[in-house]
Structure 1
Amino acid sequence: MQSETMHAGGVLEADVDGTTGLTAELVAAVSAACDRAEEHQAAVVVLRIRGAADSAPLPDIALFTRWESVLRRLERVPAVSVAAMWGPCGGVALDAALVADYRIAHPTAELVPSVSSGDVWPGMALFRMGRLSQQAAVRRAVLFGEPVGVNDALAAGLVDQVAEDPDADAGRLHRRLTGTWGPDLAIRRDLLQGSATEFEGALGGHLAACDRLLRRRATSA
């Protein structure tokens, strides 16, 4: 989350650039945005998402664990979250997009799993994609790291709408959703997503898979 802007009506806009790798600064920035949402300074969080790195370095497991923790927090804030997406979205951009309540994609948008030296990064983005859909394009993304084009993403339910101007559509949407702030929103998300135990169990498996990949990469270096 490289920059953020608070607008009238409690709308917090934040940029997430997937061309940069995961950093402690990004984790802190997302955590700060969660603070503002939880304190009702923001009723709607609009994430302006774009970018996928060609060869972003793999994060260490401790930083990745912190990142997944803050994403889970973002997933549970009492504010509505809207992702406005352009072009290839990978790495931290894909992670952030998949935790949003509503996703608006430009026709150029593409969901790009992180692949490094032929290895698909087994982070929680794969869990969230698989939970949202089991369509063929999603299975190929999870298993083989193939990007998901915007039409397949729309058909699979990974995005809610395609728009030529995601910013404008996000603006219209947040005017309709600003009255939905509150703890009941997080409860409804849990009902929609299923048991929190399912998530925690999946997180353990994904962390273990990420740790194995990092150890194997360190051994072969």
Structure 2
Amino acid sequence: MGESLQTLEGHSNSVFSIAFSPNGKIVASGSSDNTIRLWDIAICESLQTLEGHSNAVLSVAFSPNGKIIASGSSDNTIRLWDTTTGELLQTLEGYSNTVLSIAFSPNGKMVASGSSDNTIRLWDTATGESLQTLEGHSSLKASSVFEQYSISNHWIVEKVDKEIRNILWLPSDYRPYITSFYKETIVIGSSSDRIFFLKLEYGNHILST
């Protein structure tokens, strides 16, 4: 059994979600006391208490540069916060039910979120605009949504048992006409008159066009 290194106390109710900052120095926690706390691991102290949600915070995630934290709540909203000042940057609205899961794209410009209304939404972090709604995910679970979906700057690809099953989202000017799958590689003929090779095991980058 693992040894307990530290106990961080401050929430007044159950803690539902935890995330480490990219540099590993800060932990964010979301609670049913409707708050998010940021903790300094080295000194075991609360740095910020982020208040604004009207119901339990079920998911938290740091942006790749660590400057923004996203929180998803039972109040059906997502909120984006400045990790340094604690300022509320954006409130993302549009769900009809609880927000269960959140993940940033590698460049931090998009947030993907999963809800118990069985949809996944993509959001622009700068404007708060909803970019895309992916419907029909009846088996959506908070613990597995973003293990199943690989998110890059321009693609969301569904993987099941390490096999690529479907391209879920592409920019509007890169709609695929033809796709072919081989292990971890997708070959795509698109409306942009180019052929794309996408290999997930190398981090979802386009290897060649």
- Relative to total residues, which structure has the larger strand share, 1 or 2? 2
> Looking at both structures, which has the greater relative contact order when contacts are Cα pairs under 8 Å and sequence separation is at least 6?
1
Higher helix share: 1
> Which of these two proteins has the greater Rg computed from alpha carbons?
2
Q: Tell me the TM-score normalized by structure 2.
A: 0.29
